[in-house]
Structure 1
Amino acid sequence: MSSAPASSPPRVPSDAPVPAPDITPSTALLAARWGLSHGLLRTVLASRARAGSADARLLRDPALQAEPWEHYRDLRAHRPFTEGPMGKVTAHHGVATAVLRSDDFGVADRDQVLPAPVLAGLRLIGPRRYAGVDTPPSMLVVDPPDHARYRRLVSRAFTAKAVAALRTRTEEITAELLDDLADAFAREGSVDLVRSYAALVPVTVIAEMLGVPPEMRATLLSWGDGAAASLDMGLPWRRYARAERALAAFDAWLRVHLRTLRDAPGDDLLSKLVQVADDDGSGLSEQELVATSMLILAAGFETTVNLISNGTVRLFEHTDQRARLAEDPSLWPNAVDEVLRHDSPVQRTARMARRDTEVEGVPVAQREIVVTVLGAANRDPAVFPDPDRFDVARPNAKEHVAFSSGIHYCLGAALARMEGEVALQALFTRFPDLAPAGDGVRRPTIILRGWETLPVRG
Structure 2
Amino acid sequence: MDGEAIVEQLMTVEGRRDPYPLYELARTLGPVIPGPPDLLLAVGYREVNQVLRNMGFAVADTATRERWEPGFADHSSRVLFSRSILESNAPHHARMRSLIASVFTPRRVAALEPAVTAAVHRLLDEMADRGADGSPVDFMDAFAFRLPVGVICELLGVPEADRYRFRGLASELTATLEIIATDEELAAADRAADELAGYFTELAAARTAHPRDDLVSALVEVAAADESRLSGPELLANLVLLLVAGFETTTNLLGNGLALLFRHPEALAGLRDGGVTPAGFTDEVLRHDSPVQLTSRIALTGGLRIGELEVPYGSGVFLLIGAANRDPDRYEHPDRFDPTRRDSQPLSFGAGPHYCLGAQLARQESQVAVRALVDRFPALAPAGEPVRRDRLVLRGYETLPVILR
- TM bucket (normalised to shorter chain) is over 0.9
- Contact in 2 for aligned 1:109/1:352 (Cα 8 Å): no
CA distance in 1, matches of 2:193, 2:78: 6
Measure, in 2, the Cα distance between the counterparts of 1:330 and 1:182.
Answer: 25
Counterpart residue number, 2:273: 327
CA displacement at 1:64 relative to structure 2:
2.0
Question: 8 Å contact 1:133–1:295 — kept in the other structure?
Answer: no
Within 5 Å, give how 1:291-306 maps onto structure 2: 291-306=237-252
Report the 3-state secondary structure (helix = DSSP H, G, I; strand = E; otherwise coil) of the residue aligned with 1:82. strand
Q: Which amino acid aligns with 1:428?
A: V
Residues 156 and 162 of structure 1 are in contact (CA less than 8 Å); yes or no, is this contact kept in structure 2?
no
Corresponding residue SS for 1:299? helix
Q: For residues 335 and 222 of structure 2, what CA distance do their matches in structure 1 show? A: 47
Query: Is it true that 1:84 corresponds to 2:27 in the alignment?
Result: no
Identity %: 38
Q: Output the amino acid matched with 2:30.
A: R
Distance 1:329 1:286, change over 3 A: farther
Quote the residue 2:128 is aligned against.
182
| Residue in structure 1 matched with residue 389 of structure 2 by the alignment | 443
Match of 1:358 in 2: 305
Tell me whether 1:67 sits opposite 2:14 in the alignment: no
Farther-moved stretch of structure 1 (335-344 vs 187-196): 187-196
Shift in CA distance, 97/389, structure 1 to aligned 2, threshold 3 Å: same
Q: Cα offset for 1:153?
A: 0.9
- Counterparts of 1:136-285 in structure 2, within 5 Å, are 136-187=82-133, 189-285=135-231
Aligned residues: 402
Match of 1:369 in 2: 316
Shift, 1:229, TM fit: 1.0
What letter matches 1:64 in structure 2? G
Letter in 2 for 1:207: C
Q: Which residue of 34, 47, 52 corresponds with 1:100? A: 52
Map 1:354-433; keep pairs closer than 5 Å: 354-356=300-302, 357-397=304-344, 399-433=345-379
Distance in 2 between residues matched to 1:293 and 1:266, nearest whole Å: 16
Q: Let me know the Cα RMSD of the aligned residues.
A: 2.1
- Distance in structure 2 (CA, Å) of the matches to 1:277 and 1:141: 19
Measure the CA separation in 2 of the matches of 1:63 and 1:306: 19
Contact 2:179 2:393 in 1 (8 A): no
Give 1:331's aligned amino acid. Answer: T
User: Partners in 1 of 2:376 and 2:239 — Cα distance?
Assistant: 34
- Alpha-carbon distance, 1:138 to partner: 1.4
In 1, distance between residues paired with 2:297 and 2:62? 10
CA distance, structure 2, for counterparts of residue 447 and residue 216 of structure 1: 27
Q: CA, structure 1 residues 59+98, in 2 after alignment: closer, same or farther (shift >3 Å)?
A: same
2: CA distance between counterparts of 1:134 and 1:404? Answer: 21
- The answer as to 2:9 corresponding to 1:58 is yes
Q: Which amino acid aligns with 1:222?
A: G
**How many angstroms apart in 2 are the aligned matches of 1:288 and 1:401?**
27
Q: Do the aligned residues in 2 keep the contact of 1:261 with 1:271 (CA within 8 Å)?
A: yes
Q: In structure 2, do the counterparts of structure 1 residues 219 and 184 end up closer, same or farther at CA, with 3 Å as the change threshold?
A: same
Distance 1:207 1:114, change over 3 A: closer
Q: 1:65 Cα shift?
A: 1.9
- Answer yes or no: is the 8 Å Cα contact 2:85–2:238 preserved in 1: yes
Partner amino acid for 1:319? P
Describe the SS at the equivalent of 1:76. helix
CA contact (8 A) 1:105 1:351 kept: yes
User: 2:181 and 2:102 mapped to 1: Cα distance?
Assistant: 35
Opposite residue 111 of structure 2, the aligned amino acid is A
Q: Secondary structure at the match of 2:179?
A: coil
Q: Which of 248, 259, 279 lines up with 1:313 in the alignment?
A: 259
SS at match of 1:383: coil
SS at match of 2:398: strand
Moved more, 75-84 or 359-368: 75-84
Name the CA distance, whole Å, in 2 between partners of 1:434 and 1:188.
11
CA contact (8 A) 1:131 1:290 kept: no
Kindly tell me: are residues 134 and 452 of structure 1, through their superposed partners in 2, closer, same or farther at Cα, counting changes over 3 Å?
A: farther
- Equivalent residue for 2:235? 289
Could you tell me which runs of 5 or more consecutive residues in structure 2 were left unpaired when the two chains were aligned.
Answer: none
Matches within 5 A, 1:1-20: none
- 1:372-420 Cα offsets, whole Å, 9 max, x none, are 10010000011110001111111122x1100111100111100010011
Structure 1 residues without counterparts, runs of 5 or longer: 1-48
- Indicate conservation of the 8 Å contact 1:158/1:414, yes or no: no
Q: Shift of residue 110 of structure 1?
A: 9.3
SS at match of 2:184: helix
| Contact 1:346–1:447 under 8 Å retained in 2 | yes
Q: Offset of 1:157 from its aligned partner?
A: 4.0
Which residue identity is paired with 2:53? R
Distance 2:382 2:64 in 1: 44
Query: Given that residues 157 and 214 in structure 2 are in contact (C-alpha distance below 8 angstroms), is that contact kept between their aligned partners in structure 1?
Result: yes
Structure 1 residues 376, 133: CA separation in 2 closer, same or farther (over 3 Å shift)? farther
- Helix, strand or coil at the partner of 1:186: coil
Going from structure 1 to structure 2, the CA distance change for 1:430 and 1:156 (only over 3 Å counts) comes to farther
Partners of 1:131 and 1:251 within 8 A in 2: no
Task: Give the aligned residue type for 1:375.
Answer: G
Deviation per CA, 1:68-94, whole angstroms, max 9, x where unpaired? 222111111233422223500011000
CA distance in 2, matches of 1:52, 1:282: 43
